[in-house]
Amino acid sequence: MVSIVFARMEQQDAHTLDGYTRSEGYSGLRKALSMTPEAVLEDVKASQLAGRGGAGFATGQKWSLIAEGFPRYVVVNGDESEPGTFKDRQLMERDPHQVIEGSLITAYAVRATRVFLYIRGEMALAQERVGQALVDAYAGGYVGADIMGSGWSCDVVLHHGAGAYVVGEETALLESLEGKRAFPRIKPPFYPAAKGLYLQPTIVNNVETVSTLPWIIRNTGETYATYGAGRAPGTRIMCVSGHVKKPGNYEVEAGKITFRDLIYDIAGGIRDDKELKAFVPGGGSAPWLFPDHLDLPLDPGPVGAEGTMLGSGAVVVMDETTCMVRAAWNLVRFYSHESCGQCTPCREGGNWLEKIMYRIENGNGRPEDLDLLLDVGETIAPGPFPHASNKATGLEAVPFPYKMTTICFVGPSAVVPMHSALTRFRDEFEEHIRLGACPHRVAVGSGVHA
């Protein structure tokens, strides 16, 4: 087991400046400042580090896309809110200086003058820890003017969100940071690297991504790339939750292990030794996988071909007792609630999906509702919708991603759980309708199994 990003998780005082500097803290930044920005960029490219926010865009490539112009900004997306994901929170709470150091390395590499740390509104401890870390880092000369005597200066601005999932979408985050309502921006421009914060060239990176950078600079990108396998070099944190014995964050060499290793070995197997029914492989907006996909490696290549994504690295495990209608409804409700309200398909369509599924789960479904669900889904995401293969029914996988009629991915994300559950467990939906009740005797709102 390798610890790169999570190296200090066992260290009780890692969140203090003393504790951090004692364990090689800020030596990555010191080394970076002794290099040219181009050399730092090359090193990160060599590491093959990919963004950990969900899209998995190559970090070095993203940096090299930054447009000419002054000022340039770096924004660290700490608005972690993808259902099932809780890694960035732990990183900000337990190792806040690593986030700051990584964001400064980013700023140095892309010649930015200011870093904005955007922390989700609900994360009180993370806000406190990062805030204190910033105060200490400023006092210690690690942030601000003439950082560590290098002559290079960069400020870090801390910003707290107000609790909107959609801010995880980088352009919505930029709007929010500018003090506006968090409406995702229309693409093009596709990348904030061209026009970002205040329409200036901006690099937006995830907390885990920047947290990886100090290690990469200290140990070179080539070393980092020797970890992992396939299209998943290095390590990444998988957040395992749901019906497992040992839920939690695990740093793994993703390409080298399978979902079986993760769920049954690392996370201790299914709770009460029950059977696995389904699992979300990469956050709430990733199409579901099923027991027949347990031997897939945690590699974006094969996972994508199987109709889903590793996304933010959140694996939510559902055992045989889970009502698929309710589980899917719960996620659809989340995306419907979190729609920013901008695009018609997401605002109205997500809400409609939620209402239909609520009816089915509560025994008021109609046979025609199932095709209606799929049809409404198609208005939000036209064309074949990605889903995993199904050996039992002979259904072929439709590879990720989907097409969409919305500005951002929130709308289609509401379709994902409905579509995954319905294509695989249509019989369970039909049973709900036939019985006029949930066969799992899980009434929506009751909160517990009967």
Partner 1 sequence: MTEPIHITVDGKEIEARPGEPLIAAAERGGTYIPRFCYHPRMRPVGMCRMCLVEVVGPRGPMLQPSCMVPVADGMEVNTETPSVKRAQDGMLELLLINHPLDCPVCDKGGECPLQDQTLAFGPGESRFVEEKRHWEKPIYLSPLVALDRERCVQCDRCTRFAGEIAGDPLISFMNRGAHTEVNTFPDDPFASYFSGNTVQLCPVGALTAKPYRFKARPWDLDQVESTCTSCSVGCRVAVQSSSDRLVRKLGVDVDAVNQGWLCDKGRFDFEAVNSDERLGTPQVRTGDSLAETSWGAALRKAADALQGAKERHGAASIAVLGGARLTNEDAYAWSKLARTVLGTDNVDAQLGDGLPAEVVLGLPRATIDDANRADVLVLLTADIKEELPVLYLRLRQSAIDKRVRVVEVSPVETAMTAYAEVSVRSLPGELAAGIQSNKAKAVLKDAEKVVCILGRPTLAESADAVIDAAAALLAQAPNTTFLSGLRRSNVHGALDMGLAPGVLPGRVSLADGREFLGATWGELPVEPGLDATGILTAAAEGRIQALVLLGADPLADFADRDLARRALAGAGTVIAVDAFLNESARHADVVLPAAMWGEKPGSTTNLEGRVSRLNQKITPPGTAHADWMIAVELADFLGADLGLTSVEQITDEIADLAPAYAGITARALSSTIGFDGLLAGEAKEQPHTAPPTMGPAESPEIIAPDNQGEAPSGTNIAPETPDPAHGSASEQTDDIDDVERPQLLRFTPASSGREVPAIDGYSLRLVSAHKLYDAGTLVQRAPSLAPLAPGGAVRVNPTDLERLGLTNGDSVRVTSSRGAITIPAEADVSVPKGIAVISFDQPGPGAADLIDTASMITDVRLETLS
* Tokens at 45, concatenated: 């490219």
Cα–Cα distance measured from residue 450 to residue 446, given in angstroms and rounded to the nearest whole number: 9
Output 158 or 343, the one with its CB closest to partner 1.
343
CB of 285 to partner 1, least distance (A): 16
Residue 372 belongs to what H/E stretch?
helix 369-380
Please give the radius of gyration of the chain, using alpha carbons only, rounded to the nearest integer: 22
Q: Which of 22, 246, 274, 403 binds partner 1 (CB under 8 A)?
A: 403
Q: Taking contact as CB under 8 A, which single stretch among the options 28-36, 76-84, 204-212, 376-384 is the one that binds partner 1? A: 376-384
Q: What are phi and psi for residue 319, nearest 5 degrees?
A: -95, 180
Return the residues of window 114-173 that contact partner 1 according to CB under 8 A.
164, 166
CB of 336 to partner 1, least distance (A): 6
Binding of partner 1 by 372 (CB under 8 A): yes
Binding of partner 1 by 449 (CB under 8 A): no
Binding of partner 1 by 407 (CB under 8 A): yes
Binding of partner 1 by 348 (CB under 8 A): yes
> Total residues contacting partner 1 (rule CB under 8 A)?
32
Return the residues of window 163-202 that contact partner 1 according to CB under 8 A.
164, 166, 181, 186
CB of 383 to partner 1, least distance (A): 8
Length of the chain: 450
Q: Which of 260, 359, 426, 430 binds partner 1 (CB under 8 A)?
A: 359
Q: Taking contact as CB under 8 A, which single stretch among the options 58-66, 265-273, 347-355, 427-435 is the one that binds partner 1? A: 347-355
Binding of partner 1 by 355 (CB under 8 A): yes
Q: Which of 144, 382, 399, 401 binds partner 1 (CB under 8 A)?
A: 382
Tell me the helices (H) and strands (E) count for the chain, helix number first: 18, 10
CA 164 to chain CA centroid, nearest Å = 15
Cα–Cα distance measured from residue 26 to residue 18, given in angstroms and rounded to the nearest whole number: 11
SS3 189: coil
CB of 7 to partner 1, least distance (A): 38
CB of 423 to partner 1, least distance (A): 20
- The answer to whether residues 49 and 212 touch, using CB atoms and an 8 Å cutoff, is yes
Residues contacting residue 208 through CB under 8 Å, at least 6 positions apart: 5, 52, 53, 87, 88, 91, 236, 237
Q: Taking contact as CB under 8 A, which single stretch among the options 23-31, 113-121, 283-291, 355-363 is the one that binds partner 1? A: 355-363
- The answer to whether residues 201 and 106 touch, using CB atoms and an 8 Å cutoff, is no
- The answer to whether residues 249 and 237 touch, using CB atoms and an 8 Å cutoff, is yes
Map tokens 């080539």 to a residue: 222
Please report the sign of the dihedral spanned by the C-alpha atoms of residue 219, residue 225, residue 229, residue 232. positive
Return the residues of window 315-344 that contact partner 1 according to CB under 8 A.
336-344
Q: Which of 405, 431, 437, 443 binds partner 1 (CB under 8 A)?
A: 405
Cα–Cα distance measured from residue 277 to residue 427, given in angstroms and rounded to the nearest whole number: 14
Map tokens 């870093």 to a residue: 115
CB of 372 to partner 1, least distance (A): 6
Q: Taking contact as CB under 8 A, which single stretch among the options 34-42, 293-301, 320-328, 403-411 is the one that binds partner 1? A: 403-411
Output 11 or 364, the one with its CB closest to partner 1.
364
Q: DSSP assignment of 152-181, as one string?
A: --BEEEEEE--S-GGGGSHHHHHHHHTTS-
Residues at the site binding partner 1, with contacts judged by CB under 8 A: 164, 166, 181, 186, 336-345, 347-352, 355-356, 359, 372, 376, 378-379, 382, 403, 405-407
